[in-house]
Amino acid sequence: MALMPAPFVDATQPRGLRYGLLTAASGPLDLPPKAVVSGVRFDPRSCGGAHTYPISCPTDDPDEKIFDPADATIEADTFAVYATYECSRVGRSASQLEERVRRRLTNGEQLAAETGMADVLAAGAVPLTAPDDTNLRSVVGELEEWLYGSAGAAYGNIGFLHAPIRWAVHFADHGLLQRIGPVWTTNLGTIVVFGGGYPDDGIIYISGSVTVWRSPDVNVPPAEETWDRETNTFHLLAEREYAVAYDCVAASAGFAPEVTIS
């Protein structure tokens, strides 16, 4: 039995956020003040494609050129991400408590942003079926062919694959990953996001370029304003707003690996 309380020491700093949406996406960009309620909208730069046209002799009847409609404006709704911290007021200053709830938000906001991204993908993705949904190469090939191929979306820029954390092992085992700078990609160059906020339901998504916005400041009400005098307890809150969007197109395909029990 200890004769005296153990001394407090400084905790070591974490090595950094895990790999995920905030590593791979464009941003996080500052969310404009007015967007906190209304969300953001933008005209994408990476939608649309081109056509071939024969070089005809002057005596030939020329083919008519195809005129495509303007790209649709993309709208991204905002959602709040928050963390809480409940404790007694004994042994900690107000500033220390406020810093703790800020740190808790930092620890959890990437997963919350991925959850928001998963909702956006599920709402807009075109469902596809791979020739062999037990083979990850078949699933990834089907998704990339749809995104980049002329029979699918004909997307001309680098796309994003979105998969739950569990599938990182499968991607590696199938030789489907390479590291380029801070991000993982397929052999074709498609950026792969393994997100803790993506549901582990066997669905892999592919999309156009992904962008994340968030409020530049974290809202932390002063600790003294959260003190409950009857219980001698602080109820601290840290909150910021996010918006996420993908450009142009998205599709999904199921992956159901065969499991052998030995």
Nearest in space to 208 (alpha carbons), one of 154, 168, 132, 136: 154
123-147 pLDDT, tens digit per residue, is 999 999 999 999 999 999 999 999 9
Most confident listed range (37-41, 94-98, 158-162)? 158-162
Most confident listed range (46-50, 59-63, 97-101)? 97-101
Quickly list DSSP for 75-121.
Answer: EE-EEEEEEEEEEESTT--HHHHHHHHHHHHHHHHHHHHHHHHHHHH
User: What pLDDT does residue 67 have?
Assistant: 86
210-214 and 191-195 strand pairing: unpaired
Please enumerate, as own/partner, the contacts of 127-132 that have beta carbons within 8 Å and a separation of 24 or more: 127/251, 127/252, 127/253, 128/251, 128/252, 128/253, 129/253, 129/254, 130/253, 130/254, 130/255
Residues 181-187, mean pLDDT to the nearest whole number: 96
Residue 61's pLDDT band (cuts 50, 70, 90) = low
pTM of the model: 0.89
Q: Is residue 123 classed as helix, strand or coil in its secondary structure?
A: helix
Determine how many CB atoms are found less than 10 A away from the CB of residue 71.
Answer: 14
What is the C-alpha to C-alpha distance for residues 19 and 198, in angstroms, rounded to an integer?
13
